[in-house]
Amino acid sequence: MRLLLLTIDFPPGRGGVQTLLAQLATGLARTWDVVVVTPAAAGDQRWDAAQAYAVRRSWPAAWGLAALVGLHARALVALLGRRPDVLVCGHVLLGPFCRLVSVLLRVPYVAMAYAYEIRAPRLRPIAGLALRGARRVVTISEFGRRAVQAHGVAPASVVVVHPGAVERAPATTSTREPAPGRVVLTVGRLVDGYKGHDMVIRAMPLILARLPGVRYVVVGDGPRRAYLERLAVAHGVSHAVRFVGEVSDDEVDAWYRRCEVFVLAGRESDADGGAEGYGIACVEASLRGKPVVGGRSGGIPDAVVDGETGMLVDPLDPADIADAVTRLLAEPELAARLGRAGRRRALDELAWSRVTERMSRVLAQAAAG
Amino acid sequence: MCGIVGLAGVEDAALVRCMAEAVAHRGPDGEGFFVGDGVSLGMRRLSIIDPAGSDQPLWSEDRQVLTICNGEIYNYRRLRTQLEKRGHSFRTAGDAETIVHAHEEYGDAGVHLLRGMFAYAVWDRRQRRLLLVRDRLGIKPLYYAQAGATLAFASEVKALLAVPGVSRALDVEALQRYLTLGYVPGPATILTAVRKLPPGHRLAWQAGRVEVRQYWDLVLDEGARRLPARAAAEAFREQLEDSVAHHQISDVPLGVLLSGGIDSAAVTALLAGGGRRVKTFTVGFEAGDGDEGELVAARTVARHFDTEHHEIVLGSGLADILPEIVRMQDEPLADPATVATFFVCRLAAGSVKVVLTGEGGDELLGGYPRYGWLRLGERLRRRPGLRAAARALLASLPHGVAGGRISQRLATLVGPAALEDRHLDWVATLSGDVQHALTGDGGRTAAGALVRELVGRSGTGDPVHDLMYADVKTWLPDDVLVKTDRMSMAASIEARVPLLDHRLMEFTASLPASMKAGTLATKALLRQALGRDLPAATRRRRKRAFLVPLRRWLGGELRELLHDSLTSASARSRGLVRPEAVARLLHEQRSGRHDHGRALWTLLCLELWLTTVGDAAAAAHD
């Protein structure tokens, strides 16, 4: 059966959505004839050549509106040429186009829905249009399911597929900066407030009061970094917070292995729809056998099983965050138990073979009507 | 609410009692002392939460840690549950006991758990270490003085003056800054020997050594992702509702000080939304000065929310009470609004023990028109053509009363002076010329350096945010909050400031400056968040300074006091300001040629403070 995946986000670009779609494409390519249509990006030729499926590139995403037009045109050419059995709409912005071709060319489509893009007030009308016209909507957490259903999509056509993490050979490089002390880690871009770095920084004085050797390592970069750095100074903990910036995949991997506790204290902002759709970084940490402290918000409860692979906390309460982190650092057996269970879950329930299998079933159902 | 006092390094029951007596008005309901381990701690209590229990000092389970506290911990119920889960047992039903257990659990960092207004002392008997902590924004006061290895501290300066060895020598530089700003910016006080513990700081004393450290600061930021204004307003409203809900926690009746402005109206709106009938209190002045506006505006709000409204109209008798007000202020403070606050607190004390106020809204939400003007100025200054045209216009303006105001505005916009100097032009109590004639330029230079340092520390790159930061660090704790604390305490009631909740502050600080202070509109965010709940007249109301009929007072009932105070032999002999310059100000005021109201008020408050509190100090200076 033929599958066409239309997406704005795709490797070599980095991010949770990029990784998810590429992993799905690779997995599905074993049983499906997969073609991906996506904008060009630096280094894409080398990347594309290594894949077991075809990638068609349109104008670079940096071109803005023109890129969107180009992507649509490229997709139309591919559609007319191949007549796929099912179309995957990688982002709701592409939804109106998918809905139109589903009517005109009678190609059913499956819409991917994450979190922010279907909750943002600005995108509401377009998201509704995209989601309601889809044969199936695939989302990544129960939180995503609720957000999709809030658009009036019938419960029966919404499917949750939890993404997994990618197992890789242990990096040969180590963390370039050997941070002394016990490392508490967050990995994520420093763009949105909802990721909760600020609350971990506010929790640091309380953590340090009990365990003075703890260091909070922040991997990732973005426009919010300067604010977070000033926040660390304002709370008197700048000596214990390290901003590593954006680093190579190898080095990220090394930090995951280096840390004792991983934190993602995400919170929901009803105001602008911001929220962690799932928190793939938590699963990445689990895969390395690390206990996770997650904010009880958004899709994080799907990525972290409370009391089993980590602990869920009130993301707005620094004391709650501090207590969970401190407990995991102070009770190595507990930390190890949660870490082991997390790794088991990542390798078993969230194994990519399982994830693609689930996705494949949904696509087959959609193609069949 | 309470007053705390203490000595580290000395056991002196009589002295600490004497210090506590000096702040008895802060806590008429009870007292408590601890003298031992080489320290002496005392407190006077005004009971608000758990009136029957919660006598201080409060002790840890093993009696190794004790605390005395002035203030309220609004999140104490939640904290208590958390601390009980960690094995702590509480003996009282009050809020202050959380401080002891938080300290046992987290040491100095325990303050990070607290949401509220506070100044407290913790004595750790094992380590023989005293910790003093003041809340993040400086809502509650805390002063200290060192005499050798002894440390003395107190909620008010008066109590420190009871301690032998604490010199009363005036800090002449602080006095100069007072003349420029109308208040003494911290950490200095008007006395060389006495310091303020700055907001967001803690002080540790151990074996005679003192260490002062900051534990919290406000971080202003434009925000990485632009929130739509409507969404920001909704989120702001949610936070404000939460803050007002926390600020209602009380076992005694509470009310609102209603000014007629939008801040206290917003607080009233959210309280009234809770279902109970709100008591409101307003002060106004006798008709004839156009000041009825305040009373009428407050009445509009009161009617809209069907509050139990109380008013007081100030008539005569000011000359008799002013020296007492100045004495209660602790330090010279030339904010005429203090008088109004004094009377409205006295009015409220007749029916409630706790009042909520709208204080802080101007700093937090960009209520001062100067923010918008200064930003517009920064933009214009980047356009050489416009700048040159405006400067030409500025040069051609005639000098006169109206022209003076217009040219001041223009100078603020495009004048060549640095940002901090233009800011000072706006806020200074004395114009540069008057201060030059009175004392020389030292005060202004020092105040300018202070603002420059704060703007640099803020470092947001946005002039509005940088100046807001400077205001939050100086004007707010050293003028606005001194006024609120001292005048409410003088009436033995507690004032709470829900707009200064630190979580609300942190949220608002993370929004773009343009959302708070527009070029011509003030408080856009608050208007949008609460607009539909407020009467239309309140929503549309422009910012106005609290209008006190200063000119009428100085020319009428305070005329004699003003003249006698400023020209007395003792005033002339102090040598703090040039007598001939003072005489000229008085003359020009009398003849009506100039209105030197604020300058004369500044001088009068200083002189009254010197005669009522600082006589010995002045003598020492001579």
Answer yes or no: do A121 and B228 touch at CB < 8 A: yes
Residues 184-203 of A with CB under 8 A from B: 190-193, 202
With 70 as the cut, is the pLDDT of residue A176 above it? no
Q: Are A324 and A211 in contact (CB under 8 A)?
A: no
Alpha-carbon distances of A120 from A271, B226, B507, rounded to whole Å: 8, 12, 20
Residue B289 reports pLDDT greater than 60: no
**Most confident stretch, A270-284, B282-296, B477-491:** B477-491
Chain B residue with minimal CA distance to A222? B224
Contact between A193 and B235 using a beta-carbon 8 Å cutoff: no
Q: How far apart, in whole angstroms, are the C-alpha atoms of residue B288 and residue A189?
A: 61
pLDDT for B618 equals 45
Whole-number pLDDT of residue B620: 43
The whole-number pLDDT of residue B19 equals 96
Q: Do B221 and A272 touch (CB under 8 A)?
A: no
Determine contact: A206 vs chain B, CB below 8 A: yes
pLDDT above 80 for A312: yes
Residue B134 pLDDT exceeds 90: yes
Determine the average pLDDT of the residues in A294-303. 96
User: Is A209 in contact with B106 (Cβ distance < 8 A)?
Assistant: yes
Q: In what order do the strands lie in the sheet with B30-36?
A: B30-36, B39-45, B2-8, B150-154, B143-147, B194-196
Q: What is the pLDDT of residue B57?
A: 93
Binned at pLDDT 50, 70 and 90, residue B520 comes out as low
Q: State mean pLDDT over A253-280.
A: 89
Q: Which of A288, A290, A240, A252 is nearest to A175 (CA)?
A: A252
Tell me the two tokens of residue B541.
């109301």
Considering only the beta carbons, identify the residue of B216, B217, B235 that sits closest to A271.
B235
Q: Which amino acid is at B76?
A: Y
Distance CA B378, CA B373 (A): 9
Residue B213 in tokens: 């450290």
**Residue B201 CB neighbour total at 10 angstroms:** 22
Rounded CA-CA distance A108/A367 in Å is 6
Residues of B with CB under 8 A from a CB of A: 79, 82, 105-110, 112-113, 213-219, 221, 223-225, 227-228, 230-232, 234-235, 238, 459, 510
* Residue A233 Cα, gap to closest chain B Cα (Å): 8
Confidence at residue A117, expressed as pLDDT on a 0 to 100 scale: 83
Rounded to an integer, what distance in angstroms lies between the CA atom of residue B181 and that of residue B192? 18
Mean pLDDT for A322-346 is 97
pLDDT band for B315, please (50, 70, 90 cuts): confident
Residue B619: predicted pLDDT: 47
CA distances from B346 to B281, B308, B493, B495, B569 (A): 10, 17, 9, 12, 34
**CB within 8 Å: A230 and B459:** yes
Q: Which of B108, B225, B232 sits opposite A192 (nearest CB)?
A: B225
What integer pLDDT is reported at residue A360 of this predicted model?
96
Q: E strand or H helix at A3, and its extent?
A: strand A2-6
- Token pair 């008010």 is found at B156
Is some CB atom of chain B closer than 8 A to the CB atom of A236? yes
Q: In this predicted structure, what is the pLDDT of residue B54?
A: 73
pLDDT of res. B561? 92
Residues of A with Cβ-Cβ distance to B234 under 8 angstroms: 270-271
Return the C-alpha torsion angle B17, B22, B25, B28, nearest 10. 10
Q: Please report, rounded to a whole number, the percentage of residues in chain B having pLDDT higher than 90.
A: 56
Distance CA A13, CA A34 (A): 19
Q: Which of A192, A230, A319 sits opposite B82 (nearest CB)?
A: A319
Residues B170, B171, B173: CA angle, nearest 5 degrees: 140
In this prediction, residue B546 carries a pLDDT of 57
Binding-face residues of A in 87-126 toward B, CB within 8 A: 121-122
Q: pLDDT value at position B543?
A: 60
Asked if the C-beta of A233 comes within 8 angstroms of chain B's C-beta atoms, the answer is yes
Handedness of CA B82, B88, B92, B96 (dihedral sign): negative
CB contact under 8 Å between B216 and A272, yes or no, is no
User: How would residue A169 be classed by pLDDT, with cut points 50, 70 and 90?
Assistant: confident
Candidates A121, A208, A271; nearest CB to B109: A208
- Strand ranges in A63-121 using DSSP code E only, listed in sequence order: 86-89, 109-113
Determine which of B221, B234, B504 to mutate to test the interface with A (most A C-beta atoms within 10 Å): B221
**Cis before B416? omega within 30:** no
Structure confidence at residue A59 (pLDDT) = 93
* pLDDT at residue A30, as a whole number: 94
Q: Are A325 and A196 in contact (CB under 8 A)?
A: no
Measured between beta carbons, the chain B residues lying within 8 angstroms of A222 are 224
| Mean of pLDDT values over A38-64 | 93
A227 with B510: Cβ contact below 8 A: yes
Of B333, B16, B54, B342, give the one whose Cα is nearest residue B154: B16
With beta carbons under 8 A apart, name residues in chain A contacting B227: 271-272
pLDDT at B276: 81
pLDDT band at A262 (very low <50, low <70, confident <90, very high): very high
Out of B2, B69, B345, B605, which one is annotated catalytic? B2
Q: Compute the nearest-CA separation of A252 from chain B (Å).
A: 24
B2 classed as catalytic:
yes
The overall average pLDDT reported for chain B is: 88
Is A234–B234 a contact, with Cβ atoms under 8 angstroms apart?
no
**Which ipTM was obtained for this model?**
0.89
> Contact A319/B113, CB-based, under 8 Å?
yes
Going by pLDDT thresholds of 50, 70 and 90, the confidence category of residue A46 is very high
Strand pairing partners for A36?
A5, A55
Residue B522: per-residue pLDDT: 74
Diameter over CA atoms, chain B:
76
**Which stretches of B214-336 are DSSP H helices?**
229-247, 262-272, 292-304, 318-328
User: Which of the two residues, B202 and B384, has the higher pLDDT score?
Assistant: B202
pLDDT value at residue B1: 63
Q: Please state whether the peptide bond connecting residue A96 to the residue before it is cis, i.e. omega within 30 degrees of 0.
A: no
CB contact under 8 A, B224 and A190: yes
Burial class (CB in 10 A: 0-12, 13-18, 19+), A200: buried
Q: Which residues of chain B does A208 touch, with a Cβ-Cβ cutoff of 8 Å? A: 109
Average pLDDT over residues B215-225: 86
pTM for this entry: 0.91
Residue B122 CA, distance from chain mean position: 24
Distance (Å, whole) CA B466 – CA A186? 30
Q: Of A52-56, B43-47, B340-344, B396-400, which gets the smallest average pLDDT?
A: B396-400
pLDDT digits (tens, 9 = 90+) for A2-31: 999 999 999 999 888 999 999 999 999 999
Taking CA atoms, B512 is separated from A181, B224, B334, B339, in Å, by: 37, 9, 32, 35
At B35 the pLDDT is 96
Q: Indicate if the pLDDT at residue B545 is higher than 60.
A: no
Segment B71-124, tens digit of pLDDT:
999 999 999 999 999 999 999 988 999 999 999 999 999 999 999 999 999 999
Nearest-Cα distance to chain A for B565, in Å, is 45
Least confident of A48-52, A97-101, B314-318: B314-318
Task: Name the phi and psi angles at A115, rounded to 5.
Answer: -165, -70
**Cβ atoms B17, B30 nearer than 8 A:** no
Of the candidates B448, B564, B576, B497, which has an alpha carbon nearest to the alpha carbon of residue B190? B576
Q: Using one digit for the tens of pLDDT, what is the confidence trace for B426-463? A: 888 888 888 889 988 888 888 999 999 999 898 888 88
Instruction: State which residue of chain A sits closest to B108, comparing Cα positions.
Output: A209
Which chain A residues are closer than 8 Å to B218 by Cβ? 234
Lowest mean pLDDT among A164-173, A311-320, B133-142, B271-280: A164-173
Cβ count near B390 (within 10 Å): 19
* Cα end-to-end span (Å), chain B: 38
The owner of tokens 């942190």 is B506
Predicted local confidence at residue B615, as pLDDT = 63
The region of weakest confidence among B279-288, B432-441, B567-576 is: B279-288
Å from A202 to nearest chain B CA?
8
Inter-chain contact A234–B112, Cβ cutoff 8 Å? no
Answer yes or no: are the C-beta atoms of A79 and A87 closer than 8 Å.
Answer: yes
